[in-house]
Structure 1
Amino acid sequence: MEVSSEFFSKGCTPWQRILLTASLLTCWLLSTTTSVTIESLPPKVVEGENVLLHVDNLPENLLVFAWYREVTSMKLVIGLYLPDYRTSVKGPEHSGREILYSNGSLWIQNVTREDTGYYTLRTKSKHGEIVSNTSVFLQVYSPLFICGRPTTLAPPTIELVPPSVPAGGSVLLLVHNLPEHLHSLFWYKGLVVFNKVEIARHRIAKNSNEPGPAHSGRETVYSNGSLLLQNVTWKDTGFYTLRTLNKYRKKELAHIYLQVDTSLSLCCDTLNSDQLTIDAVPQHAVEGGSVLLQVHNLPEDLQTFSWFKGVQCTHVFKIAEYSIATKAIITGRASSRRETAYTNGSLLLQDVTEKDSGLYTLVTTDSNLKVERAHVQVSVNKLATQPVLRVTDSTVRVQSSVVFTCFSDDIGISIRWLFNNKSLKLTERMTLSPSKCQLRIHTVRKRDAGEYQCEASNSVSSKISLPVSLSVVNE
């Protein structure tokens, strides 16, 4: 049954019993009853999912109950339900995706960001009394939602995969936390952003790449922002910069330092073995642990060295300095008092936090006043927390669809899906969201029944969710 918006906007006019009931809904007063509760299932909803606004403690012997958009406007009616007639009536705010159930719950299919907002349930007894008035706020997140935290909470970061690459090999500069509403992205060789050193750019709307002046023919830019370097040489050693631009003209920068390992060279293109280099030990540290920035090939006639947080070698960012003349190590303005510098050039970071992540620079000077610089990337992560897995419906019919969503409070994690304790093999009927935190199964079949889990992992640890069972029944 469907009723026009004109009907819902009128006052309390006398109609037949069903229509009279509907019109009375627009004249209700607020109730002080608080026994009715509403819960969103799942509690966090991503675009494209289905959501159930589940009602508990629905009063008995009701004449009618109705669902509204917002809290104050009683004209924004989604629909009402008449228990005695087991009939629902669609309102002007009904989009064709909502279903009202006899227990008071509201089912919304294929939600969009526009569905975000307040939803209000009102009930009226057969004695004409207002029984309850209860509201709930529904937040619908973007598909870029990273399993519990929006990507906008974290700036873009870059990871080297593999972390060490020999000359002649390939390395992926893997991007994490691309911003929402992305318009385009640009890759540059070096720290400075200007046209001459632009490697390539990617335009989101056209899904197209354009090579820049610094493109050597060995670079590939992907739509997820990552940059692949093939057949690297020692000349590829250095900084790489990612610049992102969203639809609102907001810009963000991220840097990574690539050190080509010539000791593992796959070809004859090698670099001087005496080059100043630094290794982070371990490469990926746990928050609260320690990281040793181990220096190799200090100049034999070393006179001074200085450590800096970041790439700007100024007093503001200096952690420590050493002079062979005084044989003294002096702490700098950027020292957190958790660093220890050694005369062999190495730097120990203790009790590290996520804020210690980033680039560190070592500057050395020899007796001929020759200056050398080396950089190292430090990565610090918290231990992964256990994710929570939700499913739109634990029992579905054959040929229907179902959505699983993996939620985590962690930033910068990767998601892996498991089915019956084994890694899930995706079929043509399964799709993952861009962040992989959402799994949708189309045209469900009997063989899809079983236990599903998701694993959230970062560079230092991983956790697996509790299993969620899916039952599949015949139509």
Structure 2
Amino acid sequence: MESPSASPHRGRIPWQGLLLADIQIINDSKPIEGKELVLTCEPDIPGVTYLWYKDDQELQEIPDRLQLSSNNRILTLLNVTREDTGIYECEIRNSTTVIFRNSHTLDVFYGPDTPTISPSEENYCSGTNLTLFCEADSNPPAEYSWIINGQNEVPSQELHIPSMSTSDSGSYTCQVRNSITDLSNIAVKNITVHGAVIQVSSTTVREKDSLVLTCLTAQPGLSIQWIFNSQSLQLTDRMSLSTDNSTLTIDPVMMEDEGEYQCEVFYLNCSSKSDSVSITVKALESEDTHLLPGAIAGIVIGAFVALVLLCILAYFLYCSKTRRSRPV
């Protein structure tokens, strides 16, 4: 009975044998890019013609790339590339008839290529979410992992860090590996997280004294604004800002200046707020009306001594008066 695969092929006469040709890979080696691969067409029959096809195109020798043995039975790919992936057919024929024919799908293993990390943006503001995606061309698909600042390996193709802070700045390395080719590759992205912090000598200040708040940033922004109790700070005649708005001076401080202060720095693509700093203002009256414990103790001791002296004086006066009133 004729095999279903014996249909006409590129105008050739259908084969009429009882066996199929067999394509074998020498030493059962894996088709890995960059290595040599040898295919043989079996069986070995004297006096016949062997032909090779790839994706329906007949193969011819290519120097330094493709070699055929003297009788064409052995096909050697000297330097396998991923473009060699495809359907290979081995055909055995006599002068007029196709005797055997069979096909083999060659899947070339390659990579991983140098990975790419997206998005390309490298500057972020604190409080924003970071999502990095790594991709590398590889067959089979690569295994992915992330290394952050040289440590904390995370096995994932996608890396997500919510609500970043300035401590999240650093190098983000995507590492890819192909378990078949036993090759690996990396890509590195340097991330800078912009943030702000308020510097102040003391969070407690006396009324009538001066207060200086400084907004510090790792990278200079386009502009800076100050926030007081969650509202944009309204400057008074007691307040002044430096040329770049980074330093706020209040002189003299009043009770209404007590509250929460923040600075917000604006960059090209985002803005970043500092953590709030709570300023406490001590009223002058509180220092005048409240005595220190040492002062209170001094007053008590002084009153006791005065009382003792008064008692002694009264005793002597009494004794003196008693002596005068006695008859001589």
Q: Does TM, normalized by the shorter one, top 0.5? A: no
TM-score normalised to the size of structure 2? 0.38
Higher relative strand content: 1
Higher relative helix content: 2
The structure with the larger Rg is 2
